[in-house]
Amino acid sequence: MTSVRDATSVDPGHAAASDTNGTVSGVTRTGPRPERVPVRPRELTGTDIVTIIGCFASALSLSWLVFTVLTGGIGWLGFGLATFVVFLVLVFVVTAETMGVTAATDRVATAVVVSAAVLLLVPLVWLVGYVIVKGLPGLTAHFFFEDQRGVTPILPSTAGGGSHAIVGTLQQVGLALVWALPLGVLAAVFLNESRSRWRRPVRIFVDAMSGLPSVIAGLFIFAVLILPYAKQIKVFSYNGFMASLALAMMMLPTITRTVEVVLRLVPDGLREASLAMGSSRARTVWSVVLPTARTGITTAVVLGVARAVGETAPLLFTAFGADLMNSNPFNGPQESLPLFVYRNIRKPDPSAISRGFTGALVLMMLVIGLFALARYIGRDRSGRKNKRRRKELLPTLGDQPSIGSEHS
C-alpha cells in the first residue's frame, strides 16, 4: 500500500480525510507512522472490473442461450439490446449483493452513461475509419503533385492525382473568404455595436441564411450571374470566381454569428473607457473592440472556411469541375476536392471510385487540420501567459493578481 507521504502528494484531501489519529496533516512527526490506507470511494477496484466483465459474459451467454439455442433468434439488434438489459440487471444484482443498493444504482447509471458515450462514438469512428481504409491505398505523394492528365479507366487508382482539386479548393475558399470576411465582420459590428432598430430583422435574416440549402446558393449564382451574362462577360461563366461567390454565401452567416458572439464577450467597460477618452464610436470599434476580439475573429475565419471547404452543391453549376489543372480561378472550369470526390465516385470503374475516396480522405484531413488550427488559435494564450507572470510577480508584490480574479 502507498505510504502516507505518497498519498499526500497525490491527493491531499484524502490524506487529510483519512487522518483518523486526530493529528493535523502536514505536521512533522518523529515517531513511527501507523499504516494508513487512503480510500477513494468512487474508484473502480480490480474486483469491480472482474465483476463487470463477468456480468457481461453472463449476459452474453444468457442471451445466446435464450435467443439462439432455445428460440429462433431475434436478429442482431434485438440480441444486443437483450444482452445490454440483462447486463444491467446482473450488474445491479451483483453489486447490490456486495455493496448495497446505493452503490448498485450508481454502477448501473455509470454503465448506462458510458455505454451511451461509446454508442455515440461508433458512427464517427466507423465513418472516419471507412474513408481511411478506402482512401489510403490511393494516397501517394503523386496525389498532391499531379492532375488527371492521361488517366484512363483501366489505370490503377494511384495513377494521376488530385493536385488540381487541391489548388481549386484553396483558391475558391480563399477568394470566398476575401468576400465573406469583411461583410461578415461588418454585419457583426452592425448587430452588436449599433443601436439601429434594423438589428432584429438583420439577425433573423442571418439566421435564416445559415439554414440556406447550399444547392440554392449555387443555383442563385448560376441563375443570376452565369445564365444571363456568360455570353457577354467572360468572367461570368463557369469558373472558380463564381464558385467563390456561392461559397461566400455559405460562409457569411457562420462568420457573422461567430464574430457577433465574440464581440458580445468584449466587456462594455472597454467601450466606455474608449469613449470617455474622446474616441468616436467607429474608432472605438476599430481600435478597441476588434483588437480585443482578435483571437475570436480568427476562430470565426477558420470555422467559416471549414464550413465552406466541404461544400459540393454550390460548386456544381459554378466551378463545374475539370480533370486538368486550372490555376486561374477567373477563367474556365475548375476542380475542387468535393467535386473531385463527387465526380470520381459516380464513375463505374473501381480505380476512379478508389480515387474518389482518396480525395475524401484528403478533404477530411484538411477539415480536421482547420479545426485543430481553430482550437490552437482560439486557446487562451494571454491567460496562460498572465498566469505565469502572476506567479513571478506574486512574491515580490504581494498584491492581488490580475484579470478577472479581482472582480465579481
Partner 1 sequence: MIDITQAEPVVHADAGGKPPIELIGGPPIGAATIEARDACAWFGDRLVLEDVNLVMPAGHVTALIGPSGCGKSTFIRMLNRMHELVPSAALSGEVLLDGADIYERGMRAQDVRMRVGMVFQKPNPFPAMSIRDNVLAGLKLARIKCKDKDGLVEQSLVRASLWREVRDRLDSPGGALSGGQQQRLCIARSLAVHPNVLLMDEPCSALDPTSTGRVEETIAELRGQVTVVIVTHNMQQAHRVSDACAFFLAAENEPGRVVEQGPTQKLFSAPDDPRTLAYVEGRFG
Q: Please report, as ranges, the residues that interact with partner 1 according to CB under 8 A.
A: 195, 267, 269-270, 272-280, 283-284, 287-288, 291-292, 294, 382, 385-386, 389-390, 393, 397, 399-403, 406-407
CB nearer to partner 1: give 61 or 280.
Answer: 280
CB nearer to partner 1: give 6 or 272.
Answer: 272
Nearest Cα residue to 172 out of 141, 212, 218, 215: 218
Least Å distance between CB 303 and partner 1? 21
Bridge partners of 334? 320
Least Å distance between CB 254 and partner 1? 24
Least Å distance between CB 385 and partner 1? 7
CB nearer to partner 1: give 178 or 273.
Answer: 273
CB nearer to partner 1: give 200 or 294.
Answer: 294
Q: Which three cell numbers stand for residue 15?
A: 490524506
CB nearer to partner 1: give 50 or 273.
Answer: 273
Least Å distance between CB 402 and partner 1? 5
- Those residues whose C-beta lies under 8 Å from the C-beta of residue 138, and which sit 6 or more positions away, are 157, 158, 354, 355, 357, 358
CB nearer to partner 1: give 68 or 382.
Answer: 382
Using CA atoms in the order 38, 43, 48, 49, what is the torsion angle rounded to 10 degrees? -120
The rounded distance, in Å, linking the Cα atoms of 214 and 249 is: 9
Q: Which three cell numbers stand for residue 272?
A: 466606455
Q: Which three cell numbers stand for residue 108?
A: 448501473
CB nearer to partner 1: give 9 or 402.
Answer: 402
- 159: which DSSP letter? S
The rounded distance, in Å, linking the Cα atoms of 316 and 335 is: 10
CB nearer to partner 1: give 283 or 375.
Answer: 283
Nearest Cα residue to 299 out of 270, 269, 271, 263: 263
Least Å distance between CB 407 and partner 1? 6
Total Cβ atoms within 10 A of residue 303: 20
Least Å distance between CB 275 and partner 1? 6
Least Å distance between CB 271 and partner 1? 9
Using CA atoms in the order 200, 201, 204, 209, what is the torsion angle rounded to 10 degrees? -140
For residues 251-286, one letter each, b for 16 or more C-beta atoms within 10 angstroms of the residue's C-beta and e for the rest, the string is bbbbbbbbbbebbeebeeeebeebeeeebeeeebbe
Least Å distance between CB 277 and partner 1? 4
Contact 313, 250 (CB under 8 A): no
* String of DSSP letters for 324-362: S----TTSS-B--HHHHHHHHHTSSSHHHHHHHHHHHHH
